[in-house]
Every structure is written in C-alpha cells, then in structure tokens.
Amino acid sequence: MTTAIIDYGSGNLRSAEKAFERMAAETGKGGPIVVTSDPDVAARADRILLPGVGAYRDCAEGIKAIDGMWEALDAFTRTGKPFLGICVGMQLMASWGREFYDTPGFGWIPGEVVKLAPSDPALKIPHMGWNRLHGMADHPVFTGIGGEQTGDHAYFVHSYHFVPEDPAHRLGFVTYGQEVTAAVGRDNIIGTQFHPEKSQAVGLKLIANFLAWAP
C-alpha cells in the first residue's frame, strides 16, 4: 500500500513527507510514503497526495511540465483510489482558477477559485494563521475532527479560496470576514485549504484518517 506525494516543484515537501511517514508508522496504514515526480509511480500508487504552494497558474503549469503527470493524476481519480489535495493542490480540483489569469483546473469538482473578499477591511490578505473549523462534513477523513463541539483549529496560508458550484461539495468552512471554504470533496477525492502537516494534532488526525480511508 503505497502513498505517493507528488513533487512538481511547488515548494518544500519535507514537512508533509515527515507528517505522512509519522502517521503511516503509527497506524500501520498507507505506507510506504514515496515522494515522486514520475507519473508511472503515481499511476501505480494506492493513494495520492497533491500538495501546492504559490500561484494557481504556476502550480498548474508545474504539473503540466512533467510529461504525462497531468494525465496520470486525472486518470488516477477515476480509479476510485483515495486522492487528497492540500492548499493549491485542492484548488486545482476546480474548473477554473481566477488568480491573475483565468487558468483551467482539473474540473473534478465544478467551481472556481476566487480571491478572498473579507467584509472587514482590517482583515489582511493573505489569510494566514489558525482558524476554527465549522460545518465539517460527516466524512471518514474528518472522523474525530469536529469544529463546533471541540473548537478544532487548523492552519491556513492563502489569498484565494474554492467556491464549488454545488454547495454539497463544500465539506467545511472557516470565517474570515466571510465564509471561506476549508474543505471540498466528492467520491474518492478530497481536499483541504488548510495545511494538515502544519495543523498539529488536528492535522495528524486527518492524515491518519486519510491513510486508512477506503472510499
């Protein structure tokens, strides 16, 4: 049971790799953890993590610059195997990213990624730091992660967020002068705007849940 973390030049993957290795060792699920830029390795994996840091278009072009990777990821999501996107890796599931230019995404979850527009001008963009999770869906990856009852917080760093066409695809939110999408998903794919690898106990729980998830 191999978990592939996709390396396409989008930032330092070490913190995600370490968090996934830790939870794979603790739970006995999902390992070994492999960081790869090889589409064949990705295609053979049992589950995939697509991270992402930076601008939407840069991340999309970074994946497309690896021959066959965009197609391998697209095909993987149709296998029914678990797929997790984090931050821009989650945003790329959308139909469009509206950051600077209109950039097409994978279109797995119809919707668009738009700039945050908090109602309070004192709230700075990017939205950076800890925020309380609300409305978390009843989903195996969120087992034990409440929000309302537990006051669970997660760590965010972003200026844009995902607005799905179908509200049922939004699996959680935070408030930052507006409702901000914290998680999206359908079927075997799920994504978080926040960084589980930086969200301490809440993030490690989510990673453990993902490594055990059997859609």
Catalytic residues: 87, 195, 197
Task: With beta carbons less than 8 A apart as the criterion, state whether 48 and 83 touch.
Answer: yes
Residue of 27, 104, 20, 118 whose CA lies nearest to 64:
104
Q: What are phi and psi of 81, to 5 degrees?
A: -80, 155
Structure tokens at 102: 């209109």
Residues sharing a CB contact under 8 Å with residue 1, sequence separation 6 or more, in sequence order: 29, 30, 31, 46, 47
Do the beta carbons of residue 194 and residue 154 sit within 8 Å? yes
Half-sphere CA count of 165, side-chain side, radius 13 A: 10
Measured on CA atoms in the order 100, 153, 28, 215, is the torsion positive or negative?
Answer: negative
155: closest CA among 112, 202, 187, 189? 202
- C-alpha closest to that of 1 among 28, 39, 37, 35: 28
